[in-house]
Chain A
Amino acid sequence: MKGKMMKRGDLILIGIVVIAALAFIVPRYWGGNESEKNHIENRFVHIEVNGEAYQTLPLTEEEQIVMIKTEDGFNQIKIHNGGVEMIDADCPDELCLGFGFVTRPGQQIVCLPHRVSVFIGVESGEELEVDDVVG
């Protein structure tokens, strides 16, 4: 093989990307600890289908199972312990099941084939801007 495996430019590119990504990721897990679990009272789970509001539910410790039925199929979410997860869906890729259990405001579960979006907001009816989430 000719030449070196990687060039300087590669390292610069990779470095910039990793630093930029970490700059967004680290603050999410930093300092969020004290405000994390104790504010679930004013947090809501927003469900949207096709970009339009479908249902808004309070984020609770108790278990709530919600069935979302759309023209394309169904999605089932479970709200519990101050978080929400997608537990069942009949979409072709089932990527939405891979989002896991989300607990932070701004976090979102999306099922693209069904155009279903589930996200945690701080106040009812208000959408969190991306900047608010990372700032």
Chain B
Amino acid sequence: MTSLAEESLLLKKTVILAIFAAAAVVLGIIESMIPVGSFMMPGAKLGLANIMILTCLYFLNGKDTLMLVVLKTLLTAMILGTFSMLLFSLFGALLSFGVMYGLMKISRKRLSLIGISVAGGIAHNIGQLAAAAIVIDSLNIFYYLPVLMIAGVATGIVVGIAVRYLVNALGHMKLFAPFVPNEY
């Protein structure tokens, strides 16, 4: 039996997840329109959707965020029609989530959201390259990892700063009030 207060909290959580998922999908679509994966950096992405994932990780728990990650990846693949790429995006997204979740748990004191975002971005690149290496059955693809790492640091910092501002702004909203973690 759930009390009224618990039920309202659950409802709020569902609403937040739905908003985040919608925002993440839109960011994913916008991102696909911006060609960054140009010279020597194939597969480099801005990782805009990561803004929503990391924000979700900040307010809600790992289980909810995992739901958001899977939802966002599936929806984006369906909308963009890149279903054949689902394996790669899922691989990258899950590894990125795993790393950010772990760091959020163990080294929140030492790392700010920027550091966590950087680690998540790099994990995403490694995950995608690993999936690619498995499919084409060759490790040569890791040739591009160092360049992607540099790109990951740059985009990770930007995403981290965005998350910081977003978390601050959302934290003042009534909907998010019960979920603001009492850290810092």
Question: Which residues does A use to contact B, with CB under 8 Å?
Answer: 1-10, 13-14, 17-18, 20-25, 48, 50-51, 72, 92-93, 95-96, 98-100, 106-108, 110, 112-113, 115-117, 119, 127-130, 133-134
Contacts and interface: CB of A to CB of B under 8 A. Distances in A.
Interface residues of B, number: 46
Given A98-B37, A133-B143, A17 B122 contact: yes
B164 A95 contact: no
Interface in B140-174: 140-147, 149-150, 152-153, 157, 161, 164, 168
A1 B146 contact: no
Contacts of A14: 115, 118, 153, 157
B82 interface: yes
A5 B184 CA distance: 12
A8 to B, nearest CB: 7
Grouping DSSP codes into helix (H, G, I), strand (E, B) and loop, the A interface class, with mixed when no group exceeds half, is mixed
Contacts of B153: 14, 17-18, 21
A130 B110 contact: no
Contacts of B39: 98, 100
B28 to A, nearest CB: 13
25 contacts: A5-B114, A7-B115, A13-B115, A14-B115, A14-B157, A18-B149, A20-B146, A48-B136, A51-B135, A92-B85, A93-B82, A93-B85, A106-B140, A106-B143, A107-B143, A108-B140, A108-B141, A112-B88, A112-B135, A112-B136, A116-B136, A119-B138, A127-B140, A130-B143, A134-B143
Contacts of A22: 146, 150
Given A1-B168, A14-B118, A17-B118, A128 B147 contact: no
